Each structure stands twice: as C-alpha cells, then as structure tokens.
Amino acid sequence: MQIVSANGASIPALGFGTFRMPGPDVIRILPLALKTGFRHVDTAQIYGNEAEVGDVIATSGIPREEIFLTTKVWVDRFARKDFLPSVDESLKKLRTDYVDLLLLHWPKSPVPLAEQIGCLNAVVKAGKVRHIGVSNYNCALMGEAVALSQAPIVTNQIEYHPYLDQTAVIAAARSYGMAITAYYAMADGRVTKEPLLQDIGARHGKTAAQVALRWLVQQQGVVALTKTATENRVAENFAIFDFHLDAQEMDAISALTRPDGRIVSPGHLAPEWD
C-alpha cells in the first residue's frame, strides 16, 4: 500500500469509507475489505456505524496498530463540554483506546474555532487520538486552524473528483505540510460513465472508477476514500497500484473540471468555497 506522509502521520493512500453505509452492510463488507488489503478505514459519529466498524476491526484478527482508523466529531458536539465525552463515546463504540485520526466534520458552527481546535489538542494530549485534522475547510479556515493548533493538522478531507477543481485548496494544504483526503471520488456515479475515463481505462485494462482513483492517489499528498456495498467492487477498487497514468492522461482527467462540479454543499454546514 502506498503511504502519504503528512506532518508526522503515515496515512494509507487508499481508504475504505463508510458514509451512508448501514451497520449490517458494514458487518458484511468491511471484513472483505480488510481481507482484500485495506488498512485505512473512515467513519464518523454522524454515520451511525462506529459500533459496527469497531466490531469488525476487533474481530478481524488484524493487529489494531496495522489499521489506520479515522472518525469525525459532529458539529453539535464541538463545545468542550460535549466534545470530550463524544470522543470517549466514539472510542467505546469503536472498541479501541485511540483513533489514528480525528477530524472536525464541517466548519460552520457557533462554537469558536479556537475552542474546537483546543478540544482536538486536548484529546491528543490525553492519548486518545494520534493525529488531528479538519474536513470541508476552505483555504482561509485551514490557515486559521493551523495557526491555532499546537499539534500538527495532518489533513483536510474534502470532496474531490475529476469534475471539481480543488487546485487552490490542495496548494494551501501542501504549504502547511497537510494531506488532502478525497471523498466522493466517484462523483455520485458520474465517473463510471465518463467516456474519457473509460477510454483511458481501456488502455490500461482498468475500469473508469479505477482510473479516477489512480488519478487521485498519483497526486502528491492526496489520499482517496472509496466505498462500495458490492462484494466484487471491493477488489476492483483496491487494484489501483499496478498501473501508472502518464502526464497527458493526468492532465486530460484534470481538464474534466466544470464550474458546477461540486455535489456536496449543505448551506447550514459549508463554508464559502474557494
């Protein structure tokens, strides 16, 4: 597995995401993902499946230290009085003493950012979290978070796929030594139907989805999350490290960006996007 290094964290470049994955699906699919070779698992408090993720990891037979586990604190728990108990609750559900990465899930909140970052630092100091990060932040917010934090901010998890230009956010993250973790890599299914990606895939004996994932992880400092509830797609999504896209192919995929490419932008949670 390719590793992305960011401010002291070593993050497997391909993660298995569990967004909108009900508990029974986690119990059914995640063991197969771990057996296939995934060692990066992404969940969140709001997903409602931390307990199932924890059960699968605990019974997988894989040593805990070999799995990079991420969860996220939901916005209604950003105040200090709620934040720290919520992390303890997550750890209990996940059946672990620590998570490798804890993220603030969305930026819009009445709780001051300094308080949120202070809470992240507190759980690091308590040994409950190895690394901290943010999610859905714009460039300005990333800069504020970095300035406020004693512990390094290691990633910004954002929507990123061939139709959405994230050049500015990626450049800002790199300037802070941070990684970018890409979610919605399939752009809600549009990627699999994209003729350019299909054509490039045909050259390499790969699917359009594999090409899109390869395009992501081939970029400096980019981690990709993939999710599926279909058994035969697990191995397909994992098989992206045995081919290489040339510069022309990378540029052609990047040129798919469009002004209306963003899919995820809830007004009550999202910042002003770059």
Which residue ranges are tagged as binding site for substrate?
A: 105
Residues forming beta bridges with residue 42, ordered by sequence position: 17, 70
Position 242: which residue type?
A: D
N-to-C CA span, the chain: 31
Please tell me the distance from the alpha carbon of residue 164 to that of residue 41, in angstroms, as a whole number: 24
Residues with catalytic roles: 47
Distances (CA, A) of 273 to 111, 140, 251: 20, 10, 23
Question: With 0-12 CB in 10 A as exposed, 13-18 as middle and 19+ as buried, what is 7?
Answer: middle
Is the dihedral angle over the CA atoms 210, 216, 219, 224 positive or is it negative? Answer: negative
- Which is it for strands 179-183 and 153-159: parallel, antiparallel or unpaired? parallel
CB 23: neighbour CB atoms within 10 A? 16
Token pair 């002003």: residue: 272
Question: With 0-12 CB in 10 A as exposed, 13-18 as middle and 19+ as buried, what is 197?
Answer: buried
Give the number of residues written for the chain: 274
181, 158 contact by CB (below 8 A): yes
What is the three-class DSSP state of 273? coil
Angle between helices 113-125 and 139-148 (to 10 degrees): 50
What is the three-class DSSP state of 180? strand
